[in-house]
Chain A
Amino acid sequence: MLYREAGQFKTTYAADQQIFPIRQDRIGIIALLVVAFIGVPLFASEYWFSAILIPFLIFALAAIGLNVLTGYAGQLSLGSAAFMAVGAYAAYNFQLRIEGIPILVSFVLAGLTAAGVGILFGLPSLRIKGFYLAVATLAAQFFIVWCLTKFPWLSNNSSSGVISTQKLIFFGHELTTPVEKYLLVLSVVVVLALAAKNMVRSSTGRAWMAVRDMDVAASVIGIKLMPTKLLAFAVSSFYCGVAGAMYAFCYLGSVEPDGFSLEMSFKILFMIIIGGVGSIMGSFLGAAFILLLPIFLDVALPFVADLFGLPFASATVSHIQITVFGALIMFFLIVEPHGLARLWQIAKEKLRLWPFPH
Chain B
Amino acid sequence: MSKKIGDVILDLQNISLRFGGVKALTDISFDVREHEIRAIIGPNGAGKSSMLNVINGVYHPQEGRIFWHGQERKNMEPHMAAQQNIARTFQNIALFKGMTVLDNIMTGRITKMKANFIEHALWFGRAKKEELEHRKKVEEVIDFLEIQHIRKTPVNRLPYGLQKRVELGRALAAEPSMLLLDEPMAGMNVEEKQDMCRFILDVNDQFGTTIVLIEHDMGVVMDISDRVVVLDYGKKIGDGEPDEVKNNEDVIKAYLGAGH
Are the C-beta atoms of B111 and A219 separated by less than 8 Å?
A: no
| Contact-residue size bin, chain A (C-beta under 8 Å from the other chain) | 20 to 34
Task: Give the residue of B82, B115, B123 whose beta carbon is less than 8 angstroms from that of A221.
Answer: B82
A13 interface residue per 8 A CB criterion: yes
Tell me the number of A-to-B contacts counted with CB atoms below 8 Å. Answer: 110
Could you list 19 examples of A-B contacts with CB < 8 Å? A199-B117, A202-B115, A202-B123, A203-B120, A204-B116, A206-B107, A207-B110, A210-B99, A213-B95, A213-B98, A214-B96, A216-B58, A217-B90, A219-B58, A219-B79, A221-B108, A221-B111, A221-B170, A222-B110
The minimal Cβ–Cβ distance linking B239 to chain A, given in whole angstroms, is 26
- Asked if A220 meets B96 with Cβ closer than 8 Å, knowing A195-B122, A203-B106, A204-B120, the reply is no
In the complex, what residues of B have CB within 8 A of residue A122's CB?
none
Complex: how many Å from CA A219 to CA B79? 5
Are the C-beta atoms of A209 and B131 separated by less than 8 Å?
A: no
B35 interface residue per 8 A CB criterion: no
A231 interface residue per 8 A CB criterion: yes
- Asked if A199 meets B121 with Cβ closer than 8 Å, knowing A219-B77, A222-B79, the reply is yes
In the complex, what residues of B have CB within 8 A of residue A223's CB?
79, 107, 110
In the complex, what residues of B have CB within 8 A of residue A91's CB?
none
In the complex, what residues of B have CB within 8 A of residue A219's CB?
58, 77-79
A196 interface residue per 8 A CB criterion: yes
Task: Give the residue of B94, B115, B174 whose beta carbon is less than 8 angstroms from that of A217.
Answer: B94
- Asked if A222 meets B120 with Cβ closer than 8 Å, knowing A206-B99, A210-B96, A217-B95, the reply is no
B162 interface residue per 8 A CB criterion: no
The minimal Cβ–Cβ distance linking B96 to chain A, given in whole angstroms, is 4
Are the C-beta atoms of A198 and B96 separated by less than 8 Å?
A: no
Interface set of A (CB-CB < 8 Å, partner B): 13-14, 16-17, 19, 195-196, 198-199, 202-207, 209-210, 212-214, 216-225, 231, 235, 278
In the complex, what residues of B have CB within 8 A of residue A222's CB?
79, 82-83, 110-111, 174
Complex: how many Å from CA A13 to CA B140? 13
The minimal Cβ–Cβ distance linking B31 to chain A, given in whole angstroms, is 22
Residue with the highest number of chain A CB atoms closer than 10 Å, among B115, B121, B135? B121
6 nearest interchain CB pairs?
Answer: A222-B82, A222-B111, A217-B94, A213-B96, A195-B121, A202-B120
Interface size on B, residues (CB 8 A): 41
Are the C-beta atoms of A198 and B123 separated by less than 8 Å?
A: yes
Main secondary structure of the interface of B (DSSP, over half): helix
Task: Give the residue of A13, A212, A278 whose beta carbon is less than 8 angstroms from that of B132.
Answer: A13
Main secondary structure of the interface of A (DSSP, over half): helix
Are the C-beta atoms of A214 and B94 separated by less than 8 Å?
A: yes
Complex: how many Å from CA A223 to CA B112? 11
Residue with the highest number of chain A CB atoms closer than 10 Å, among B98, B127, B139? B98
Complex: how many Å from CA A209 to CA B155? 13
- Asked if A198 meets B120 with Cβ closer than 8 Å, knowing A220-B78, A222-B174, the reply is yes
Are the C-beta atoms of A209 and B58 separated by less than 8 Å?
A: no
In the complex, what residues of B have CB within 8 A of residue A212's CB?
96, 98
B113 interface residue per 8 A CB criterion: yes
Residue with the highest number of chain B CB atoms closer than 10 Å, among A14, A19, A196, A209? A209
In the complex, what residues of B have CB within 8 A of residue A199's CB?
117, 120-121
Are the C-beta atoms of A17 and B107 separated by less than 8 Å?
A: no
In the complex, what residues of B have CB within 8 A of residue A213's CB?
95-99
In the complex, what residues of B have CB within 8 A of residue A16's CB?
135
- Asked if A207 meets B135 with Cβ closer than 8 Å, knowing A202-B115, A219-B77, A223-B79, the reply is no
Are the C-beta atoms of A231 and B131 separated by less than 8 Å?
A: no
Chain A proximity mask over B87-110: 1 for CB below 8 Å, otherwise 0: 110100011111100010011101
Chain A proximity mask over B118-130: 1 for CB below 8 Å, otherwise 0: 0011110001101
Known: A195-B121, A202-B131. 4 other contacts (CB 8 A): A209-B98, A214-B95, A217-B94, A221-B108
Q: Write the chain A residue with the least CB distance to B121.
A: A195
In the complex, what residues of B have CB within 8 A of residue A202's CB?
115, 120, 123, 127, 131
The minimal Cβ–Cβ distance linking A83 to chain B, given in whole angstroms, is 18
Complex: how many Å from CA A222 to CA B78? 7
B204 interface residue per 8 A CB criterion: no
Q: Write the chain A residue with the least CB distance to B97.
A: A213
Are the C-beta atoms of B121 and A216 separated by less than 8 Å?
A: no
Task: Give the residue of A198, A206, A207, A225 whose beta carbon is less than 8 angstroms from that of B121.
Answer: A198
In the complex, what residues of A have CB within 8 A of residue B88's CB?
220
Complex: how many Å from CA A19 to CA B122? 12
Residue with the highest number of chain A CB atoms closer than 10 Å, among B96, B117, B123, B136? B117
The minimal Cβ–Cβ distance linking B150 to chain A, given in whole angstroms, is 15
